């Protein structure tokens, strides 16, 4: 899969300034593959720390003003960067841009649900429900990270959901409505296959955002509404399963979140 991902970058119709592979402490033959077939590709190895630190390492190492990500199990179609660069040239108001994508699972194409609809412009509110930007489709100007921060390395999961909330609360996002990324799934080592109770992780991300004090007005009200509803559903599930400790813990966290938000409405 790594070779396929690299080849999809090298085959772009728009020239690639630099390609950096971050090896997150892999124990397979990644190093040998890169040395044998891709000597001109910049290769950085870090101690196994998770996807957030790996992406952050790449952001810091990148020399260009714009950064694009590509997970090793996904790949780009040849005109992906060309279409985005053209779009950004014609829409200079955007510092973030994503594209549509094709989803494949176990080699079979699957349809995206209505809830996964892609957006252009200001779409913080729909982003509160779930992650609407694929890391493998996005291009971001480096100045955005200076404003919003990078991936939170404390999050083992939903690190992209956390970042997109911070970004969409401050920036409109451009969108190229073309399927320019192939997103694959179904393999046993896929990170998303290991997530149990993803809503619990999203609740933690919402708490972090709400406690940061950076939201105001409609964005704050919308975030509180979604947080309240996600907590209600999560508490209902805990009650059915007799998870009293989790219910008590979440109740205390909710009290803290709503207490911290009250002064902004006085």
pLDDT of residue 82: 98
Provide the pLDDT for residue 264.
61
- C-alpha 137/C-alpha 120 separation (Å) is 14
Indicate the helix (H) or strand (E) that contains 1: none
Q: Kindly report, residue by residue over 4-52, the tens digit of the pLDDT.
A: 999 999 999 999 999 999 999 988 888 888 989 998 899 999 999 999 9
- pLDDT band at residue 112 under the 50/70/90 scheme: confident
Calpha distance 186→6 (Å, rounded): 20
**Residue 14 in tokens:** 């728009």
**CA triplet 249, 204, 72: central angle to 5 degrees?**
140
Asked if 168 and 95 touch (Cβ cutoff 8 Å), the reply is: no
Mean pLDDT of 77-104: 98
User: Judging by DSSP bridges, how do beta strands 66-68 and 139-141 pair with one another?
Assistant: antiparallel
CA 107, 30, 110 angle in degrees (round to 5)?
A: 15
Phi, psi of 17 (to 5 degrees): -65, -45
Average pLDDT, the chain: 92
What is the arithmetic mean of pLDDT over 221-229?
96
CA dihedral of 51, 160, 169, 140, whole degrees rounded to 10: 60
State phi, psi for 164 to the nearest 5 degrees. Answer: -65, -35
Calpha distance 91→95 (Å, rounded): 9
What Rg, from alpha-carbon coordinates, does the chain have?
Answer: 20
CB 153 within 8 A of CB 53: yes
Question: Comparing C-alpha atoms, which of 142, 19, 135, 133 is closest to residue 71?
Answer: 135
For the chain, give percent helix, strand, coil, nearest 5: 50, 15, 35
Q: Which token pair is 248?
A: 């008590």
Tens digits of per-residue pLDDT, 128-138? 999 999 999 99
> Rounded CA gap, 51 and 57, in Å?
10
pLDDT in tens, 137-193: 999 999 999 999 999 999 989 999 999 999 999 999 999 999 999 999 865 555 554
Q: Are 139 and 97 in contact (CB under 8 A)?
A: yes
Residue 180 φ/ψ, nearest 5 degrees: -115, 0
């Amino acid at each position: 899969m790594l070779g396929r991902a690299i080849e999809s970058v090298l085959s772009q119709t728009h020239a690639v300034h630099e390609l950096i592979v971050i090896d997150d402490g892999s124990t397979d033959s990644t190093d040998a593959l890169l040395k044998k077939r891709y000597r001109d590709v910049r290769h950085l190895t870090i101690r196994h720390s998770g996807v957030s630190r790996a992406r952050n390492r790449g952001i810091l190492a990148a020399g260009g003003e714009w950064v694009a990500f590509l997970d090793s199990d996904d790949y780009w179609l040849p005109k992906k960067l060309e279409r985005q660069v053209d779009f950004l040239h014609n829409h200079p108001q955007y510092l973030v841009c994503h594209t549509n994508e094709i989803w494949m699972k176990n080699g079979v194409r699957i349809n995206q649900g209505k809830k996964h609809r892609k957006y252009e412009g200001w779409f913080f509110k729909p982003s509160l429900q779930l992650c609407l930007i694929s890391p493998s489709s996005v291009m971001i100007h480096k100045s955005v990270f200076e404003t919003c921060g990078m991936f939170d390395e404390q999050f083992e999961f939903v690190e992209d959901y956390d970042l997109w909330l911070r970004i969409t609360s401050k920036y409109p996002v451009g969108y190229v409505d073309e399927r320019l990324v192939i997103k694959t799934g179904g393999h046993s080592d896929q990170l998303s296959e290991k997530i149990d109770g993803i809503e619990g992780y999203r609740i933690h991300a919402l708490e972090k955002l709400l406690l940061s004090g950076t939201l105001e007005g409609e964005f704050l009200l919308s975030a509180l509404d979604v947080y309240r509803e996600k907590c209600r559903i999560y508490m209902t599930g805990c009650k059915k399963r007799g998870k009293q400790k989790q219910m008590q813990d979440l109740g205390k966290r909710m009290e803290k979140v709503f207490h911290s938000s009250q002064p902004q409405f006085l």
